Amino acid sequence: MKQKRFSDVLGLRLSRQALRVLKERGIFAHSSVSLEHQHLAKRYVMRGLESGGAVGDLGRYVTFARDDGQAIECLHPVEAIGVNGLHAVVLAPALVRVEMLRKERTYELLITQHWPGEVSDGKRPLLQTKVLFRGIHGRLELDLSGKNKGQAGAVLPTFYSLAGEEITVPKRFHEAIRAITKAVNCIGCSHCHFSGASKGERIRVENGVPASQNSEANVLASEVA
């Protein structure tokens, strides 16, 4: 049980070969989530990294949502040197992680919920994880990076049970899944597909003022309060 919980925190279970191929093809999706302590606010929050992208027949992406499936504001975007890597830092009292892997027309999907456990005797709480949906060998017979690119962001794969029956994806996550389906078909991805800039970050960008580490901390304290 402990190993299963640890694996769920890390995200989709991929073989060493799959991880090696992703690295060789230049796709770096950070699926792990962590429990962090805000010393000023005196509370624990969840931290995740929206990241990933695609190269031709292969794609992997990780994004985050609220418990109701709606888009979550990121702490701040990240401008990486390369593509198909880190796009934004996300922090919130609780997170729903949406992770997808694509190989040509085959899709794997994992949706998990993460939150801090109860604090007891001043000890660091355990990171709680719950699997909300697991889709294996899903299919979408469209070329979303080529001739069917106009449908990207409007469609999602179909997933089946071991008996071949279609599995219903929770409706509240349809928007996030459509976005991440587009993301795993985004060749040379350099931007977020679902989470958005925080209000404070948007104001600083509009005013042309660079965000310092101190100002980012202030935005986090106000955004997740």
Q: How many CB atoms lie within 10 A of CB 197?
A: 18
102 contacts 34 by C-beta, under 8 angstroms: no
Residue type, 197: A
- Distance, CA of 31 to CA of 29 (rounded, Å): 6
For 32, list phi and psi in degrees, rounded to 5: -70, 145
CA atoms of 46 and 63, how far apart (whole Å): 13
Q: How far apart are CA 117 and CA 126, in angstroms?
A: 5
- pLDDT tens over the chain, length 225 residues: 343 444 456 789 999 999 999 999 999 999 999 999 999 999 999 999 999 999 999 999 999 999 999 999 999 999 999 999 999 999 999 999 999 999 999 999 999 999 999 888 878 999 999 999 999 999 999 999 999 999 999 999 999 999 999 999 999 999 999 999 999 999 999 999 999 855 444 334 334 443 333 333 343 433 433
Distance of alpha carbon 77 from alpha carbon 60, whole angstroms: 19
Nearest to 106 by CA among 18, 193, 44: 18
Give the residues across from 128 on adjacent strands: 115
- What is the rounded distance in angstroms from the CA atom of residue 219 to the CA atom of residue 40? 13
Residue 179: CB partners within 8 Å, gap ≥ 6?
A: 63, 153, 193, 194
pTM recorded for the entire structure: 0.84
Contact 160, 137 (CB under 8 A): yes
What is the torsional sign of CA 58, 62, 65, 67? Answer: positive
Three-class DSSP category at 221? helix
pLDDT tens by residue, 15-70: 999 999 999 999 999 999 999 999 999 999 999 999 999 999 999 999 999 999 99
Q: What are the residue boundaries of the structural domains of the chain, listed by start?
A: 2-223
Does residue 163 contact residue 130 with C-beta atoms inside 8 Å? no
